[in-house]
Each structure stands twice: as structure tokens, then as C-alpha cells.
Amino acid sequence: MELHTDLYLGDCKEELKKLPANSVDLIVTSPPYADQRKSTYGGIHPDEYVKWFQPISKQLLRVLKPTGTFILNIKEKVVEGERSTYVMELILEMRKQGWLWTEEFIWHKKNSYPGKWPNRFRDSWERLLQFNKDKKFIMYQENVMVPMGDWAKSRLKNLSDTDKIRDNSKVGSGFGKNISNWLTRDMAYPTNVLHLATECNNKKHSAAFPEELPEWFIKLFTKEYDTVLDPFMGSGTTLNVANRMKRNSIGIDIVPEYYDMVSKQLKPVELYLLEPKPNYEKVEHQRRYAIR
Amino acid sequence: MELHTDLYLGDCKEELKKLPANSVDLIVTSPPYADQRKSTYGGIHPDEYVKWFQPISKQLLRVLKPTGTFILNIKEKVVEGERSTYVMELILEMRKQGWLWTEEFIWHKKNSYPGKWPNRFRDSWERLLQFNKDKKFIMYQENVMVPMGDWAKSRLKNLSDTDKIRDNSKVGSGFGKNISNWLTRDMAYPTNVLHLATECNNKKHSAAFPEELPEWFIKLFTKEYDTVLDPFMGSGTTLNVANRMKRNSIGIDIVPEYYDMVSKQLKPVELYLLEPKPNYEKVEHQRRYAIR
DNA sequence: GTTCCGCATGAATCGATAG
DNA sequence: ACTATCGATTCATGCGGAA
């Protein structure tokens, strides 16, 4: 099978109309956040944010499959000492459109922006809002299981003294069995909090979010050769990850520089995929390097 | 000085009217969450939640000092596959009342309840909504500083090699301050995510939140002999912590069993405080044990 | 080749200063 | 008065050069 990557240059409100209905398995995106400075290029004023996003979310609702999922990464800023309410108003508006607000994941940022203010701490989390068209959506939970590492450690630490002594007396037999039990059960289902660091090191493409983030949701909500859409692709983090994970992808951006950048990044991959494949491991290996 | 603890038995909507205006420095509470099962005792239906809470938040706005803070611990439940929207509607309604929604802290629960659902992961976070009457509220940030991460450790290690020598050569010239500056750098300001475990060790009362939680906010927003209010005191976690930290406290609950329980818990403390105090350390020591 | 250290860099926010 | 710009604050991260 062949992987498709379709890029569109333009306002996603319009470009999305070119896509067929019920054709996308997963939408992962991080739109520009509201900005009180009107002069900023592309900045949307908080008061106008819902009105601006409403026609876009309407198109997203149209193109998403009934079994698909929409993940929206967003966070309200502080305006005059108060948190803006446009995100809440957006959720209420999208429900009126027919979206189901099924879950709110939290992205707990390990390295948040520094700063000190008299009445506020550093903001180290963002919302990952999950929307669906239908209560019956597809979810591959077992694909995002995490090592039990920390959980098991704390459990072992919490064992009472008597338990530990008892275990020590069973050296060679019982304790060994216990250990093996822990080892076989080394994977656990995650929670709705993602504890990741931001990627702020690279020179050119300062990605809005780290690759782990779209990767996690792509694993959770799609299988190979499903279709992933990012209507605000920016530097193309979501698309790169989708390609690497063998998912078809669609990207839209209104900024020509981003469009060109992502086009160049993806070209080597696509060309390579059309060539005959010598063997699986080699392909996997080279693809990773081709994208990055 | 003497510590006061005032308990009220009754509906907080009415009991709060007995308190004078602008008299409370901090409100920390965890009201009953909305519950779709009408039969549950005390459960409020999601659709009626805002209407139910509105007169209470109006009274809280009245009793809070202009420099005070209101911390509301709440989380929407899942109803028919969707997250309820009553928390968002509550925030919007409280802003109409005159509250400022200044911040949303996240309580990231280290050990969330186990469980598995076909289309949902374990919910391991709750909202800690901060409301204020005025943009100028009191905050003692330095009281909640946390140890720095690994970066600081390596940094301090560097200092011991070169900068320490330099500082030592300047002893007596007033540059010794540098050393103390670096030593204070052991601690960093926290973020707006609180990563705490739930308390699962308690025998009788399943406290709504762990003691660390009210403790953190009491440290952050009050000084000794300030007044802390919990209009839904339940088993009295907030009041116990406030007492231990030498804050005056006010507790309200509609359930007689809770009222009695907290009365008994607090009695030994209050009696002791009325006795003559032999010396400071002893008082401190015995108070801690009297409460727990 | 490891390990260690220096450095730049973030979806930030406030208060002061300038137009 | 009201708005726009700017500097100060601050910490986790990973790269690249050095020991």
C-alpha cells in the first residue's frame, strides 16, 4: 500500500471544503491562541475567537468520520489579570454545532516558560480537548500502554516492613515469583494527564508541541493507513509523525513559508516510498532519517 | 493571641448570612460534585448545579475580604459519554456576579483510582479554580517554594569550584551576600500544577482531598491568625490544617454527623489553647498531636 | 568515547515607559 | 486617558564543544 500526504496552502476554513465528508480518522491540531494585541500578524482577539473558529469546527465536523476523533490543543491566556473565557465559550459553541465533548486531557509541561509575577505562578499545563461525532468512537487503548516503572516502584516502597521481611525469608522461591509477577505486568494503561516536555531547543522549527504528543494520539485513535488531518500544520510536527507511523496525512496552512517547509521535508520520504523496498528493517531505519 | 474555630450546622447558603462582610482571608472548599443520580443523598443534578451554587457563591463574595482568595476544587463528571459543562457555566455565572477568575490550578493526582473503560482512561486530575474580588489580592509566594531540579544541583556544583573561591576572597567586603543569594537558589517557585497523591490511608473519613492541598493554599494566601473558611467542611480536613497552621477557621456543614465529628476533633485543641502556655515548643508539639 | 559544562531558548506575564 | 512596546523575571531541556 502507498502512503498519501496532501498539503493545502490557504485558509483552512476554505480549504477544508475541498475534502470529502466522513473521510478523516483523526484531527490533531493546535490553532493559534487568542492574542489581545490586534496588530500581531494572525492574532485573533479573545472576544472574536469563537466567531472565528466556528466555521472551521463546522467543516471539521463534516470531514471527520463518525468513528473519528478531534483533539484540540489550546490554552487561554491572561488578560488584565484574569484568565480569558474563550476556550469555555468555544466548547459550549461546538456542542451546539453537534460535537460531543468527550474528554479533556491535560498536557502537564515538564519545562514551562520561566517568569515571576507578584500574583501568579508559571503556567505549566495546556488543554487537550477531545471531541467526537458519536459516542461510539474508535480507540486502541492497548497501543499507548506505559511501562509500570514508577507505579511499581512506589508500590514496592509502600510495602510494609513485615511484608518485606516475609519476602526476604522466601529468597529463591516466593520472592522470586513475586518479582516475576511484577515483571510480567510491566505495562499499565495511562491516565488522562500527559507529562511531557516542550521542544524548545531546535533552531529553525520551534514546534508548537513535542512529537510525543501527536504520536500518542495517533497511536491511540488510528491504525496504519488511516488518515490524520492537521488544519493548522505549522512546521508540520503532526504530519511528520503521521508519516513516520505510516498514516495518511492532510495538512493545511495559510503561511506559504510553512507550506514550503513541510513540502520539502516530506518529499524525500514520498520518493523513497515509491521505490522498491529491499527489506523491512532497512526501510524503517532509513525512513526515520529521511524525515528528521 | 487566641485561635478561633467557629462551626455552623446547616445549609451554608443560610449560615453564611451570619458572617460579617469582608471578614475572610481565604475560602478553600470542595463542594459536592454534580451527580446525575437524583436518588443520591445530597446529589445535585448537573442541569441544576449552577442555579444551586449561585446563591452560595454570592454569599462567599460578600464575606471574603477584597484582598482574599477563593479556591474551588471541582471536576465535571461524565454523563452519557460526555463531560458535563456545568463547571464552565459556573465560571461564567460567577464572573457575572463580580468574581474574577484569576487562575486555574491543576491537581495532578499521583495515584488515581484504578479502572478501565472501553473509550476512556482513568481521570487523574481535578480543577482548583482561583477566584478573587480584586486584581490586587495577597499572595505569599515565598512560602510555597519547592526544591530546584537537577539543573540547579549541577549549577551549584559548578559554583563550588570557582565562584566559591572568589566569594571567599571577598570576605568582609560585603560581597558575602553573593553566597547567600546562591544558597536561596536552592528553591524555585512552583507552577500552577500541584502533583500530589490522594490520601488512601485514612481509616474512617475518606477526605475529599489530601491535607497537602489546603495546606499549600493556606501557606500561599494567608498568614498566622488570618481566617480560613470552608463552607462544605465535610470531615474537616481544611479546618484541621488551618488549626495546625495557627489560622482562625470557620466551618459549615449540613450533615450533623460531620458537624459532630469535627467538633470532637477540634475540642481538645481549643481547650488546650485556653490554658496557660508553659513554653512555645511544647505548645507547638502538643497541638499537632491533639488534632490528629 | 564518555562525561561534563555552557548556552540559547521557549504559546508567558507584569509594570514601567513612551507615543 | 488610553494603547503599544520593552525590559526583567526565571527554569527545564538538549545541543555542541571541551576536558
Tell me if B193 and A125 make a contact (CB, 8 A cut-off).
Answer: yes
- B177: which residues sit within 8 A by CB, 6+ positions away? none
pTM, entire model: 0.85
Kindly indicate the confidence band of residue A173, based on its pLDDT and cuts at 50, 70 and 90: very low
Cβ pair B243, B3 in contact under 8 A: yes
d(CA A131, CA A91): 9
Q: Which residues of B touch A88 (CB under 8 A)?
A: 88, 91-92
Give the mean pLDDT of B145-159: 57
**CATH classification of A5-145+190-291 is 3.40.50.150, yes or no?**
yes
- A126: which residues sit within 8 A by CB, 6+ positions away? A73, A74, A75, A106, A107, A109
- The interaxial angle of helices A237-244 and A256-274, nearest 10 deg, is 10
Residue A138: its pLDDT value, please?
Answer: 98
Strand D proximal residues, A:212-251, Cβ < 7 Å: none
Q: Which three cell numbers stand for residue B263?
A: 467538633
Kindly indicate the confidence band of residue B95, based on its pLDDT and cuts at 50, 70 and 90: very high
The DSSP bridge partners found for residue B55 are none
- Cα torsion A27, A33, A38, A42 to 10°: value is -40
Higher pLDDT, A68 or A38: A68
Kindly indicate the confidence band of residue B278, based on its pLDDT and cuts at 50, 70 and 90: very low
Q: Which residues of B touch A141 (CB under 8 A)?
A: 116, 118, 121
CB-nearest partner of A116 from B95, B123, B189: B189
Cα B128 vs. chain centroid, distance in angstroms?
9
Tell me if A91 and B85 make a contact (CB, 8 A cut-off).
Answer: yes
Residues of A with a Cβ under 8 Å from any B Cβ are 80-83, 85, 88-89, 91-92, 95, 100-104, 106, 108, 112, 116, 118-125, 135-137, 139, 141, 154, 189-193, 195
Q: How many CB atoms lie within 10 A of CB A153?
A: 11
Higher pLDDT, A109 or A273: A109
Kindly indicate the confidence band of residue A1, based on its pLDDT and cuts at 50, 70 and 90: confident
Residue B34: its pLDDT value, please?
Answer: 83
Tell me if B139 and A118 make a contact (CB, 8 A cut-off).
Answer: yes
Give the mean pLDDT of A46-74: 96
Kindly indicate the confidence band of residue B206, based on its pLDDT and cuts at 50, 70 and 90: low
End-to-end CA distance of chain A: 23
Question: Is pLDDT above 90 for B76?
Answer: yes
Tell me if B124 and A192 make a contact (CB, 8 A cut-off).
Answer: yes
Question: Is pLDDT above 80 for B227?
Answer: yes
Higher pLDDT, A193 or A38: A193
Residue B37: its pLDDT value, please?
Answer: 67
Tell me if B80 and A135 make a contact (CB, 8 A cut-off).
Answer: yes
Single out the residue of B277, B146, B119 nearest to residue A192, CA to CA.
B119
The DSSP bridge partners found for residue A282 are none
Strand D proximal residues, A:161-190, Cβ < 7 Å: none
Give the position of cell 454569599.
B59
Question: Is pLDDT above 60 for B160?
Answer: no
Helices assigned H by DSSP within chain A: 12-15, 49-63, 86-97, 149-158, 161-169, 174-184, 212-221, 237-244, 256-274, 280-291
Strand D proximal residues, B:187-226, Cβ < 7 Å: 188-189
Reported as a single tens digit per residue, the pLDDT across A116-135 is 999 999 999 999 999 999 99
The answer to which of A12-21, A160-169, B109-118, B168-177 has the lowest mean pLDDT is: B168-177
Q: Which three cell numbers stand for residue B288?
A: 499537632
Give the mean pLDDT of B192-216: 78
Residue B273: its pLDDT value, please?
Answer: 55
Residue B113: its pLDDT value, please?
Answer: 78
Give the mean pLDDT of A93-112: 97
Single out the residue of A225, A239, A227, A250 nearest to residue A12, CA to CA.
A250
Q: Which nucleotides of D are covered by protein (CB under 7 A)?
A: 4-5, 8-15
- B232: which residues sit within 8 A by CB, 6+ positions away? B12, B29, B30, B31, B32, B252, B253
Q: Strand C closer than 7 Å to the CB of A117?
A: yes
Give the position of cell 517568569.
A115
CB-nearest partner of A103 from B80, B83, B91: B83
Residue B272: its pLDDT value, please?
Answer: 57
Tell me if A118 and B137 make a contact (CB, 8 A cut-off).
Answer: no
Higher pLDDT, A272 or A286: A272
Single out the residue of A111, A221, A23 nearest to residue B149, CA to CA.
A111
Give kind and range of the element (H or E) at residue A69.
strand A64-74
Residue A47: its pLDDT value, please?
Answer: 87
- What is the secondary structure of A210-276 as a DSSP string? -THHHHHHHHHH--TT-EEEETT-TTTHHHHHHHHTT-EEEEEES-HHHHHHHHHHHHHHHHHHHSP
Tell me if A100 and B88 make a contact (CB, 8 A cut-off).
Answer: no
Give the mean pLDDT of B182-211: 74
Give me chain B's average pLDDT, please. 81
Kindly indicate the confidence band of residue A205, based on its pLDDT and cuts at 50, 70 and 90: low
Residue B271: its pLDDT value, please?
Answer: 55
Domain locations along chain B: 5-145+190-291, 155-188
Reported as a single tens digit per residue, the pLDDT across B51-73 is 999 999 999 999 999 999 999 99
The answer to which of A131-145, A206-220, B150-164 has the lowest mean pLDDT is: B150-164
Residue A208: its pLDDT value, please?
Answer: 72
d(CA B29, CA A209): 34
Question: Is pLDDT above 80 for A170?
Answer: no
Kindly indicate the confidence band of residue B236, based on its pLDDT and cuts at 50, 70 and 90: very high
Kindly indicate the confidence band of residue A99, based on its pLDDT and cuts at 50, 70 and 90: very high
Cβ pair A210, A198 in contact under 8 A: yes
d(CA A257, CA A277): 32
Percent of chain A with pLDDT over 70: 74
Rg (CA), chain A: 22
Give kind and range of the element (H or E) at residue B287.
helix B280-291
Kindly indicate the confidence band of residue B269, based on its pLDDT and cuts at 50, 70 and 90: low
Q: For residue A289, with 0-12 CB atoms within 10 Å meaning exposed, 13-18 middle and 19 or more buried, which class applies?
A: exposed
**Chain B interface, mutation test: which of A89, A111, A119, A137, most B Cβ atoms within 10 Å?**
A119
Give the mean pLDDT of B261-285: 60
d(CA A196, CA A126): 11
Question: Is pLDDT above 60 for B150?
Answer: no
Cα B102 vs. chain centroid, distance in angstroms?
16
B75 Cα to chain A: minimum distance (Å) = 11
Residue A278: its pLDDT value, please?
Answer: 46
End-to-end CA distance of chain B: 22
Give the mean pLDDT of A146-174: 43
Kindly indicate the confidence band of residue B27, based on its pLDDT and cuts at 50, 70 and 90: very high
Residue A286: its pLDDT value, please?
Answer: 32
Å: B244 CA to D15 C1': 48
